[in-house]
Structure formats: structure tokens, C-alpha cells
Amino acid sequence: MFAYWLLFGLFAVGAVTEQSRRPGDFRADPVLIVLGIFMILMIGLRFHVGADYEAYLRIFDYVSRLTFLEALQRDDPGYHVLNWVVASFDGSVWLVNLVCGGIFGWGLLRLCQTEPSPRTAALVAIPYLVIVVAMGYTRQAVAIGFIMAGIASLARGGSSIKFIVYVAFAALFHKTSVVVLPLAIFAGQRNHFLNALAVLVAAYALYDALLEESVDQLVASYIDARYESQGAAIRVAMNVVPALIILFAGRQLCLDERMLRFWRLVAFAALACVPALFLLPSTTAVDRVALYLLPIQVVGIGRSIFLFKSYGFSKALVVGYCFAVLYVWLNFASHSFAWLPYRTVIQ
């Protein structure tokens, strides 16, 4: 467990030693960049860490025997083409993981740099979004990385069209990420009707390119088969706290009107996942939605420091919350054994 606690400790020290900056100050934080590089290396250079590591090894072995066009025609073509390129240069799956970890880390750091306390926001991501998701679910992690980069673009004044482009790249690595497309309707500054029209056009294009041939399989897998995801309830529950913070104390979080509107929409989606767990026949379908809403924790928990008069006390609460999440997951999660011990390809 030492490696995970080391990662957590470094980000915790970074968080408690930083000074909050004014909203709208998006300057790069050199300390956060250094910490981010270390995080990316831990994600990318892991060896047989994560519940799906063996599955990704099989994918790499399978894709290495395909032609480029065959890899391009597989589901989630971005991930399969990346495997094909690495295999064609006699690389290994760790290089695929490193590239994927780099994309995820880039998206996370890009989002954190838009926050008043970037290192605190990054710390919130470490226990679950980084250690569990990025080190366990490679394709979904890349998709989330692109989504976070898209959200950061919105925070910097980018258009809803740019956000849609980021979601399109996310869908190349995991097609289920298209579920976040409706967020673009209210993400832009222009007329919502035009945003809705852009989303419909993008949705049709992505459906035609990525989903049309596999939609029956998706329905059968996520709905008809009544698949159960053991982590669904946990992911849904973890999104509830930041969702409630944003809905009931959003004005105190130093969010501009545009981003407050955006995060409130995400918060409503996160809360809607709670009854959906009991009403829908497949918790896996709900889990996929909750997975792509995880960035709400970075903003909701990260900005909760503004809810208290004492800056030191608020930082201590956030660090304590993150510590508790990591401790509980490492010691009590049913699949944490797949992450223990942490091993690296560097022997």
C-alpha cells in the first residue's frame, strides 16, 4: 500500500501548502505539474495492477495480429488503433497504459488548473478517480480525461462545440461516454436551441460512426441481461455529496454563472442516478453514467473550502475526507486485492 499512500501524501502536502488564487486565474502551477508527472508515471508504469489488467493484455495480444484497418473497425477504435501502433513498433501494453495515463492526467490537470485551489482539486481525485479508475479502467479513464479537458475548455470560455469535440474524442476510447453529450446543450453561452441542434447533429454523427452496429449489443449487455456492477452504488453515492454542495451552496463556491449552471446540471444528473439504481433493470447502465460524472467531485469537494471561515480547517476537512476514502477502499473494497501490492514494469 506504500505507493498509494506516497502518492496521496505528496498531493496532500501540496494541497495544504498552497494558497488559493482568484477565480479566473488559470496560470500553470509548477508544483502541480511535477506532481502530475509522478501520478502519470504511476498510472502508466503499473504492472498487473487493476482488476482488468489481464483483459487489456488479451486485447493487446489480439490487436497485434490485426491490420490497421481491422483495428480501426473494432469497437472503441481509438483504443484499438493505439494498441496497434504500439504493437507495430514492438512495444508492450505498459506503453499503451502510459499514453492513456498521459491523456487522463492531462485532462485532470487541465481541469484542476481552472480551480481556485488546483492542488486541492487534484488531491480530491487521487483516492478514487486516479487510483481506482485510472489504474483500473484504462479506456474509461481516457474518455474521462477528454471530458475533463472539455469541461476545462468551457471554464476558460470555450464554446459548446469545443466541448462536443472533446466528447467525440472520448467516445473513440469508450463509446458509452456519449451519455454526457446532453450537457453541451446548457454549456454554451449562445442560444440553447442552437446548442441542442449541435448536440443532435453530433449525436447522430457519433451514432452513425461508432454505435449503429453495436447498439443491439449495448442494449442486450446493459439492459436486457440485467448486468450488475458491484461498484455502481459506491460511485453513485460518492457523487451525491459534491452534488448537494453545488445545489445548495453553489453561490458560495466562486463559480461564474455559466459554470454554475453547468455543474448544477451535472449535480441533478448525479442525484438522478440514485433512484435509477432501483428503477432500472441494470445497475451497470447507471454505473456507466455515474462514472462519467465523477469529475463533479473535483469541483464540488475541491471548492468546499470556501464554505468555512477557517482556511486551515477547511483544508483539513478535505484532506481527512480524501484520507478516509482511500483508507476504506484499500482495506475494505471487494476488488482492492487486484491493486495490491502496487508493482511497476521497472524492476
Specify whether 298 is located in the same domain as 318: no
**Domain assignment of residue 282, yes or no:** yes
**Residues 262 and 342 placed together within one structural domain of the fold:** no
Find the helix or strand (DSSP H, E) in which 125 lies. helix 118-125
Pair 8, 150 in one domain:
yes
Determine, yes or no, domain membership for 186.
no
Q: Measure CA 139 to chain center.
A: 10
Report the domain count for the chain. Answer: 2
Together in a domain, 103 and 237: no
Does residue 105 fall inside a structural domain?
yes
Q: What are phi and psi of 307, to 5 degrees?
A: -85, -5
- With respect to residue 279, please indicate whether it lies within any of the assigned structural domains: yes
pLDDT tens per residue across span 39-75:
999 999 999 999 899 999 999 999 999 999 999 988 8
Percent helix, percent strand, percent coil in the chain, to nearest 5: 75, 0, 25
> CB of 127 within 8 A of CB of 326?
yes
List, for the chain, all residue ranges whose pLDDT scores fall below the cut of 50: 207, 212-226
Beta bridge partners of 344: 46
| Spatial contact of 151 and 297, defined as CB atoms under 8 Å apart | no
Which grid coordinates are listed for 187?
454549456
Q: What is the pLDDT of residue 195?
A: 57
Contact 293, 144 (CB under 8 A): no
Q: Do 258 and 315 belong together in one domain? A: no
- Predicted TM-score (pTM) of the model is 0.90
> Domain range for residue 337?
1-157+309-347
Evaluate whether residue 116 is within a structural domain: yes
Q: Is 176 a member of any domain?
A: no
Q: What's the confidence (pLDDT) of residue 222?
A: 47
- Rounded distance between C-alpha atoms, residue 293 and residue 180, angstroms: 8
* Confidence (pLDDT) at 278: 84
Distance CA 175, CA 17 (A): 39
With beta carbons less than 8 A apart as the criterion, state whether 110 and 147 touch.
no
Task: Write out pLDDT tens, residues 295-338.
Answer: 999 999 999 999 988 888 999 999 999 999 999 999 998 889 99
The verdict on residue 169 lying in a domain is no
27 with 149, same domain: the answer is yes
Domain assignment of residue 302, yes or no: yes
58 and 133 share one domain: yes
Strands (E), 214-334: none
